[in-house]
Every structure is written in C-alpha cells, then in structure tokens.
C-alpha cells in the first residue's frame, strides 16, 4: 500500500461519523506522524496460528470495535452458508480482563444478532479453555474468545473456535478470512441493539451453569484421588492467576480436588488490565514469578504455579536442593506430566494399546523417548494447538487412537479432551498431584525431572525470538526465510546437517539428496536434523512480528547438555541472525 492509499484510509477513519471519543482523539494525535499512521493503516490484522491479535487502538491494523465487527461479520457470512441446523446452533463468546474485552465480546454478539444468529455471552471473565469447553457443552457452531493471552497490556485479540471446540483449522479460517476481506466498509457493518436481542432470544447470558459443568469434568483429570487426600491435602504450594481468569475457576477446582494447603499471590488475584505487578504476564518469564517466589520462601512451598491471564498456559517453579526456586521450561513440565500419566495408567492396567500423545514439531524429543518406553504412539503436528485438537477429532472419528496427552513447548498442555485447547486449569490440577506423588517419596518435582534425565538422557531446549517491527518488518522476515531456502544449511555449529524438513514444500531432504513427503499441512517452517542428534527449527510467528529459532539437544550429562546448548544458542545469534 502506497502513501496515498494509506492517507486515504486514515482520512476515511478520521472523518467517520459517530467515532468513539478515544479513537477520534488517537487519530487526531497522529495527524503529523506518518509513521504512526502507516503502522496503524498500511495493513489489516490477519488470522494466524492463534487468531487475530494486535495493539488496541485506532486503525485497520489495531484491535478496536470496527476490526472486531469486521471479523465477526466474516464469521456471520460464513455461517449464513451453512445448513439452518448448524447456523441455528449459534456462537458462544467469552472474554478476559483486558481493556475493552467485555466491549469487544458484546460488539461481536451485536453483529451476530444483526444476522439473526444467536450468541451465548459469559457474564464475566472466563478462561479460554472454558470457552472451548462451552462450545462443546452448548453445542454451538463456533466460539469467540476475546483475549491476547500472555501479551503485554497494550494488546488484545480475537480467537475463533470451531464446532469441535478447537481453534478454527486453516481451511475454515482461510474461508472466514475471505469473507472478512470482503467487508470493505468497516463503518457500515450492521449491529443490533442488545435489549432487542434479549427480547428476541438472540442473546443469552451464561456463567455459573457452564462453570459447574466444566468443573464436573475437571474432577476427572486427577489420577490418584487417594494420593491427594493423604498427601495432596498437606502439599504446600503457591498459585497465582497473574491478574487473569484463573482466579474464577482454578481455586474452586483445587478445592474440589482436595488441595487445601496452598497460598495465592493476593495482589495478582485482582483482575487488572494494567498487570501492575508484572508487565509481561507470561509464565515463561522469570520475573513473572517474583511475587510467587517471595511468598513461596515465606511459606516454604514445594512448588509455585502460575497461569497466564486467559488461563490456557501454565508455568511452574520448583524448589531445588539448595532451597532456591528454579523455573521449569514448558518442555520439562510436559515431560513430567506425561511420564506420570503413562506410569499411572500402566500401573493400573489402564494403558490402552492404541494410546496416542500429540506434540508440536518444535517441542522436546524427551517426550518421544517417554512414549516409546511405554509403547505409546507419538504424533507430531505443526505449531498451534488447533492441530492437536484436529488429531483428537480424527482419532475419535476413525476410532484408531485413544488420546492421552497433548502439549506445546510454549507452556500449553491438555490432559482430557473435553477441552480442545491448552488448558492451564487441568494442568494445575495434575501438576499439583504429580508434586504430591514425589512428596510422598520424599522428593520434589525437581528430583522427578532429574530421574527422567537419568533414564532417557539430558535434554535441553531453547527458543530465540528476533523481532522485526515497523513497516518493513514483514518484508524482512519474508526475505530472511527466502534466504534460508535459497542457501540450505549443510552444516551448523561445526556439525553436519543430515536432513532438512521444509514444511512449506512438504518435503524432507536427506544429506544425500533423497526426498520424502511430509504428511502435514503446508507451513512456513524449516527444520534441520544434525549428526549429533540436535535439531533446529526456524519459524515466523503467526501472531507477532517475530521469527523464532528453536533448538533441541541431548547429551549424557547435565554439564554437557548445558555446554552444547550454550554453543548452539551462540551459533544462532552469530550465524543465522546475521544472514
């Protein structure tokens, strides 16, 4: 889009009638700042692996009532092509505590209502996994979750869920995007009046009724209820919802399960869109645990658990032998949970012969070794929990596998498929149980992790993100990926590349030139397998202007693993980011 087109779009917004005061003031403030105008209007928000996400503000590249209406209009147009029985199932809508989340949720309902499509809107903030559950529980055709997950306070987002409760897969998402792009006049989208929708039964408020049903299913997540009653009731741990939706459900779930001896980080139980105690409410970041560590030291807690603002991701810190807390990576948490599930099912003679675990292609290979040990199938999918949900659905339709666990390295896990997205409420319940399991043996989660390393080898992984913001960001990222394909790596960090997987062409190429197909949807991802067992992946983010470099290594000691990982991280920063 050239400068003239950008300014025409800006002027259209600036002159729009009935523009909310906050957007009008923002547009006025950027009058003499073309860079700000271009950033807000040179493109439109698009759907990535986790939906639409962006900075709150005025413009086509921002989260505001008009881009929310546009996205919902696309959904409504899609639903109008469906058989009446599917269209009449309606849409369930939830939201997190971020700025404008409630407003955006109700704007979506007003757009749907203008098309005669019923919506079920939660009465207050709820976790993303409960929204996924609600789609299935209420038998709606779709779900909308207004959230920016773990992003900073400036962001908000819009996730779309399909009839199975999973995030809308690429085919349907692409079709919806086509309808969204057909909406060229964002100010002409019809919206209904809420009191009229209530009178016509096109808008129904839900809340406790869904909570009770969801919590009933959460009770099925824990494996050994006797363990919780004997050891779990005395397990000392700290929980924090990081100013988010976990405060609504997690504490009720913990109480229902029988966990009694835990503390909450009180300041972080306040649903505050400013996230005043942690500007990056992401359980992946160490500073997010500062207050939890402080409380953990006071209470001598065994483990610290944090759920992000929409309660789909979980992070944890465990007490080490020296008494200090060590953050676990998403891969480590997943491995501990997975091993416990399979071990417990095997001990109870409940491990199915067709058992299936699903993980993303950039997640730890330790999980693969664990599944091999228990004779369970491991399926690898593209990044995005929608692909894990897709495998669950396929297994149910084909009756060929029983889902046991799914995860992504980015702190997302699913234990029971009554939800079809990562679920930090389920994960909180099971991680607390696993901590009780080790406590019964006089051990900690840290000890349990070390036991896995001793059995399978020492695995370490890292993710390095490079941001490419500004007008040229997307072009720079595209050129970088193009360059990697034009000049394939034959060695990296002094180690030979034995195979390259290009998920955009769906071809795996061995060092000798032999090719094999990759049976996954096309995606802009490259993955390399090295002679020493290391793997390296390069992937542009689907929701942020970043390219992510993933590396996974394995060694026969922790010292060697640390040294090798450090070496590969240095090589990524020096060699790949300079290309």
Annotate 524-547 with three-state secondary structure: CCEEEEECCCCEEEEEECCCCCEE
Q: Which tokens sit at 360?
A: 């993303």
Q: Which tokens sit at 18?
A: 């009935």
State the Cα–Cα distance between residues 519 and 506, nearest whole angstrom.
7
Q: Which tokens sit at 3?
A: 């400068």
State the Cα–Cα distance between residues 550 and 329, nearest whole angstrom.
13
CB 142 within 8 A of CB 162: yes
State the Cα–Cα distance between residues 227 and 262, nearest whole angstrom.
16
CB count, 10 Å around CB of 383? 24
Is 534 exposed, middle or buried (CB count within 10 Å of its CB: 0-12, 13-18, 19+)?
buried
Q: Where are the alpha helices (DSSP H) in 30-83?
A: 34-41, 65-79
DSSP β-ladder status, 119-122 and 355-360:
unpaired
Contacts of 505-512 spanning 24+ positions with Cβ under 8 A: none
Name the catalytic one among 44, 94, 101, 149: 149
Does 149 participate in catalysis according to the annotation?
yes
* Residue listed under structure tokens 């319940």: 429
Residue 572: half-sphere exposure toward Cβ, Cα within 13 Å: 22
CB count, 10 Å around CB of 355? 22
Q: What share of the chain is helix, strand, coil (3-state, %, to 5)?
A: 40, 20, 35
Q: Which helix (H) or strand (E) holds 92?
A: strand 91-95
CA distances from 531 to 255, 499, 500 (A): 49, 9, 12
CB count, 10 Å around CB of 504? 13
CB count, 10 Å around CB of 345? 17
Instruction: Provide the sign of the torsion angle of the four alpha carbons 538, 335, 453, 296, taken in this order.
Output: positive
Which amino acids are annotated catalytic? 149
């Amino acid at each position: 889009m050239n400068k003239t087109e950008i300014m025409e779009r800006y002027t259209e917004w600036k002159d729009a009638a009935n523009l909310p005061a906050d957007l009008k003031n923002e547009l006025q403030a950027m009058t003499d700042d073309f860079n700000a105008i271009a950033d807000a209007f040179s493109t439109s928000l698009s759907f990535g692996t986790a939906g639409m996400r962006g900075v709150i503000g005025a413009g086509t590249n921002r989260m505001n009532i008009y881009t929310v209406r546009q996205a919902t209009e696309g959904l409504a147009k899609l639903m109008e092509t469906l058989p009446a029985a599917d269209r009449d199932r309606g849409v369930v809508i939830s939201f997190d505590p971020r700025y404008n989340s409630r407003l955006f949720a109700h704007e979506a309902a007003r757009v749907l209502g203008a098309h005669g499509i019923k919506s079920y809107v939660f009465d207050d903030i709820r976790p993303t996994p409960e929204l996924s559950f609600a789609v299935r529980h209420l038998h709606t055709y779709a779900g909308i979750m207004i959230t920016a997950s773990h992003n900073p306070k400036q962001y908000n987002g819009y996730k779309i869920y399909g009839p199975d409760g999973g995030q809308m897969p690429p085919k349907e998402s692409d079709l919806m995007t086509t309808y969204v792009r057909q909406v060229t006049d964002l100010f002409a989208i019809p919206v209904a009046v809420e009191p009229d929708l209530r009178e016509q039964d096109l808008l129904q408020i839900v809340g406790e009724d869904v909570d009770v049903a969801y919590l009933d299913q959460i009770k099925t997540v824990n494996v050994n209820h006797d363990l919780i009653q004997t050891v779990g009731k005395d397990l000392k741990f700290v929980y924090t919802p990081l100013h988010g939706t976990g405060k609504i459900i997690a504490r009720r779930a913990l109480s229902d399960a029988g966990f009694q001896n835990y503390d909450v980080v009180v300041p972080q139980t306040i649903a505050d869109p400013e996230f005043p105690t942690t500007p990056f409410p992401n359980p992946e970041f160490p500073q997010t645990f500062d207050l939890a560590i402080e409380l953990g030291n006071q209470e001598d807690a065994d483990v610290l658990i944090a759920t992000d603002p929409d309660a789909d991701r979980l992070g944890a810190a465990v007490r080490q032998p020296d008494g200090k807390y060590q953050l676990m990576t998403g891969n480590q948490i997943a491995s501990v949970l997975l091993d416990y599930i399979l071990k417990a099912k095997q001990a109870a003679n409940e491990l199915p012969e067709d058992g299936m675990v699903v993980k993303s292609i950039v997640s730890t290979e330790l999980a693969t070794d664990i599944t091999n040990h228990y004779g369970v199938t491991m399926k690898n999918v593209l990044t995005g929990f929608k692909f894990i949900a897709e495998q669950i659905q396929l297994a149910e339709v084909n009756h060929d596998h029983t889902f046991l666990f799914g995860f992504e390295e980015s702190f997302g896990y699913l234990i029971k498929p009554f939800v079809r997205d990562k679920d930090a409420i389920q994960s909180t319940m099971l991680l607390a149980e696993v901590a009780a399991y080790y406590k019964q043996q006089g051990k900690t989660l840290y000890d349990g992790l070390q036991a896995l390393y001793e059995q399978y080898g020492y695995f370490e992984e890292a993710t390095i993100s490079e941001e490419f913001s500004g007008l040229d960001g997307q072009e720079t990222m595209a050129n970088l990926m193009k360059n990697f394909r034009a000049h394939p790596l034959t060695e990296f960090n002094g180690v030979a590349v034995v195979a390259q997987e290009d998920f955009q062409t769906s071809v795996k190429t061995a060092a000798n030139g032999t090719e094999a197909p990759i049976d996954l949807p096309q995606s802009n991802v490259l993955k390399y397998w090295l002679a020493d067992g290391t793997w390296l992946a390069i992937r542009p983010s689907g929701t942020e202007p970043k390219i992510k470099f993933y590396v996974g290594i394995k060694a026969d000691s922790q010292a060697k693993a640390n040294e090798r990982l450090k070496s590969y991280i240095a090589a990524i920063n020096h060699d790949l980011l300079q290309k």
